[in-house]
Structure 1
Amino acid sequence: MAQQANIGELLPMLDSPVLSVREDVTAVLKENLNSDRGPMLVNTLVDYYLETSSQQVLHILTTLQEPHDKHLLDKMNEYVGKAASRLPTLSLLGHVIRLQPPWKHKLSQAPLLPSLLKCLKVDTDVIVLTTGVLVLITMLPMIPQSGKQHLHDFFDIFGRLSSWCLKKPGHVAEVYLVHLHTSVYALFHRLYGMYPCNFVSFLRSHYSMKENLETFEEVVKPMMEHVRIHPELVTGSKDHELDPRRQELPAFGDSSDSEDRTPGKEGKEPDSDRSESRREGQRGCRDEALSRHTGQKGAD
């Protein structure tokens, strides 16, 4: 197959029912990516994915290497800034980061992260917010070094979306609010697992204000009833949990130890197996929720 073939003609062939055709087209595109270090082909692939949700294009995008990782992040950042393309772009970002690409550490310095945080602070589309929260939850353990710079942003997002769960805007379908509440609950566990001292300090300060008390009683307090006291609240400090040396530990960001054990089940399952099954369940719920939100948005 000629490498000079028009890219626009090749892309639809990626979803050919003939395996050999898909493999040939994929090989041509990857060869072009290796030889052309500019952003044009990556931009075209992103556009095509957002139009078609092509799984073959998604596979190519999730396996990009330098310097195309920057091109991908820049293009997603551009589209997160546009309301019309925000949801599918967040969905794409979720697919990419769940595969933990080798360049994941670059997310902390990429303009895409502030754009995501801004979206979660100001957007009013509940499906976009839910999808964005799920992406943030997945991303946080990959970029622990961003804590010092964006910690208050993370907490502000939790505070904002917690109040949404209480206010229940009338124009939002109940099923979407249920999904939002589930994602905010997952964010609670992530922040409590990674930054317990700072997060509890935020909760104390934010929900001691009279205007936030109802949100605390109705939304946040029930979340707190399902976690155990985090050991770092006794042995750690706000500064220590932001120490880069601590953030290099493999367990950093794992909130499973902060979660409550189901009464009556102690001794029936080894701690390691129980923690692993809980983590798998959480990942499965996030992936299922992300797919469901995207699918429902498309049906609308």
Structure 2
Amino acid sequence: MAREQPNVGDLLPLLETSDLQQLEAIRGLLNEQLSTERGSMLLNGLVDYFLETNSAQALHILSSVREPHDKHLLDKMNDCMTKQACRLPTLLLLGHVVRRQPSWIHKVARYPLLLSLLKCLKTDTDVAVLITGVLVLITLLPMIPQAGKQHLWEYFDIFGRLASWNLKNPGHVSEVYLIHLHASVYSLFHRLYGMYPCNFVSYLRSHYSMKENVETFEEVVKVRLLQMLLTSRAADDAMLFFRWKRYEIHDIVIECAKVSLDPKEASCEEGYATMPENFYPQLHLRPQDCTSSPYTDLHSSYVSHSFVLMGCPYLHLGFPATTDPCNDLGHFYNSSDAKVRPCDSGQKMENLSSASRMHLSR
């Protein structure tokens, strides 16, 4: 007599049981089902269940998916990205998957999901979605360095858009969201310069030379470039693409840390000494103006540092300091209070990164 297959719809709610033995049995049944021909249907059901309930158990199973079901998971998340109500929890799911660094994660570069993520960051107006999405992108970039050849200027356009958000605030969102976005944009800046220094500096010079971007340049980016040092950069981004292909993910993250003059972020490895705090003679502090934006005031408690580049010595781009963005994401995605209901905008702030929270506590 053939063994009767359990109904998947009946199994999923049982994931929330407090009985550990029953939970282990349910997990075993679901993993067994995932290995069958009907595995793709179960996976789609698991994604829908997570989006509805924010189930930690469903998230654990989904973030452990193996080949060949990676294709079904990526396609399902791409479908969910098209729905505004599902976009934020889908990005949270993607963030958890990315942080697990499955062996197939490099395939993301070949699937429509990456395009959907980039489109979201270029067009979405929900600041919580933007913050979550940019943190996912920052974590993902060292895992798919080869995608930079095709999407490099899209990465830069995303930076330009988000850098101007604090100043223009088109959605008129609360200031606390802008603080978190500001910290996220800093992390994106650091990752892009660390991986694609020549092209990124070229973009900055071109983008902020336009009249309509001058205000953002002055108030947010505060670029300080020494022309003679820019032209002395020996490395070429074309060579870096080839170089990154031979590096492990953590090696790329370390290489990005080496270009920072921020003593909290720069690598302490031999040959990469951090700079003393009195190294910034070029910064001219303005008198504090209580009416000025907290994001542009160098006396501000959460914007007290500058974007710093070390492609050549003394090359500065002003931005705030934080710890390594990938480490921050670890706290972000592991946080026990990072729970969001798809339609509950009042809880969106609970999903913001610990990197941003650090700025609030200073």
**What TM bracket, shorter-length normalisation?**
0.7 to 0.9
Among 329, 332, 337, which residue is 1:286 paired with?
Answer: 329
The letter of the residue matching 2:209 is S
What is the distance in 1 between the residues matched to 2:5 and 2:156? 50
Aligned to 2:269: 271
What is the distance in 2 between the residues matched to 1:104 and 1:52? 25
Q: 1:75 to 1:27 in 2, by over 3 A?
A: same
Alpha-carbon offset, residue 289 of structure 1: 5.0
Aligned to 1:123: 124
The letter of the residue matching 1:249 is Y
Cα pair 1:104 1:142 within 8 Å, conserved: yes
Alpha-carbon offset, residue 55 of structure 1: 1.3
What is the distance in 2 between the residues matched to 1:246 and 1:189? 16
Alpha-carbon offset, residue 221 of structure 1: 2.0
Cα pair 1:162 1:219 within 8 Å, conserved: yes
| Backbone CA RMSD of aligned residues | 3.0
Cα pair 1:197 1:232 within 8 Å, conserved: no
Write out per-residue CA displacement over residues 209-267 of structure 1, whole angstroms, 9 at most, x where no aligned residue. Answer: 11111111211127x79xxxx9997220132223x34432233354211111439xx9x
Cα pair 1:207 1:216 within 8 Å, conserved: yes
Q: Which has the larger radius of gyration?
A: 2
What is the distance in 2 between the residues matched to 1:130 and 1:293? 14
Write out per-residue CA displacement over residues 115-146 of structure 1, whole angstroms, 9 at most, x where no aligned residue. Answer: 00001111111111111000000100000010
Aligned to 2:177: 176
Alpha-carbon offset, residue 281 of structure 1: 4.8
Matching of residue 10 in structure 1 with residue 11 in structure 2 = yes
Aligned to 1:92: 93
What is the distance in 1 between the residues matched to 2:338 and 2:179? 11
Instruction: Give the number of aligned pairs.
Output: 287
Cα pair 1:80 1:89 within 8 Å, conserved: yes
Q: 1:177 to 1:19 in 2, by over 3 A?
A: same
Aligned to 2:295: none
2:237 aligns to what SS in structure 1? coil
TM-score where L is the length of structure 2: 0.72
1:65 aligns to what SS in structure 2? coil
Write out per-residue CA displacement over residues 269-289 of structure 1, whole angstroms, 9 at most, x where no aligned residue. Answer: 9537999xx997533433445
> Which deviates further from its counterpart, 5-14 or 116-125?
5-14
Aligned to 2:150: 149
Cα pair 1:13 1:25 within 8 Å, conserved: yes
The letter of the residue matching 2:88 is L
2:35 aligns to what SS in structure 1? helix
Residues 230-245 of structure 1 mapped to structure 2, 5 A cutoff:
234-242=233-241, 244-245=242-243
Q: 1:233 to 1:255 in 2, by over 3 A?
A: farther
What is the distance in 1 between the residues matched to 2:5 and 2:78? 30
What is the distance in 2 between the residues matched to 1:245 and 1:32? 41
> Which deviates further from its counterpart, 182-191 or 210-219?
210-219
Residues 1-300 of structure 1 mapped to structure 2, 5 A cutoff:
4-36=5-37, 38-169=39-170, 171-221=172-222, 234-242=233-241, 244-250=242-248, 251-253=251-253, 254-262=255-263, 270-271=268-269, 281-288=324-331, 295=340, 297-299=345-347
Cα pair 2:244 2:252 within 8 Å, conserved: yes
TM-score where L is the length of structure 1: 0.86
What is the distance in 1 between the residues matched to 2:273 and 2:18? 41
What is the distance in 1 between the residues matched to 2:163 and 2:25? 49
Larger helix percent:
1
Q: 1:237 to 1:245 in 2, by over 3 A?
A: closer
Cα pair 2:138 2:325 within 8 Å, conserved: no
Cα pair 1:126 1:172 within 8 Å, conserved: yes
Cα pair 2:142 2:252 within 8 Å, conserved: yes
What is the distance in 2 between the residues matched to 1:255 and 1:158? 17
Cα pair 1:90 1:131 within 8 Å, conserved: yes
> Which deviates further from its counterpart, 38-47 or 131-140?
38-47
Alpha-carbon offset, residue 147 of structure 1: 0.6
Alpha-carbon offset, residue 297 of structure 1: 3.7
> Which deviates further from its counterpart, 4-13 or 143-152?
4-13
Percent identity, aligned pairs only?
54
Q: 1:288 to 1:217 in 2, by over 3 A?
A: farther
What is the distance in 1 between the residues matched to 2:220 and 2:61? 41
Q: 1:274 to 1:284 in 2, by over 3 A?
A: farther
The letter of the residue matching 2:152 is L
List alignment gaps of at least 5 residues for structure 2: 275-320, 349-362
> Which deviates further from its counterpart, 123-132 or 290-299?
290-299
Write out per-residue CA displacement over residues 55-74 of structure 1, whole angstroms, 9 at most, x where no aligned residue. Answer: 11111111111221110000
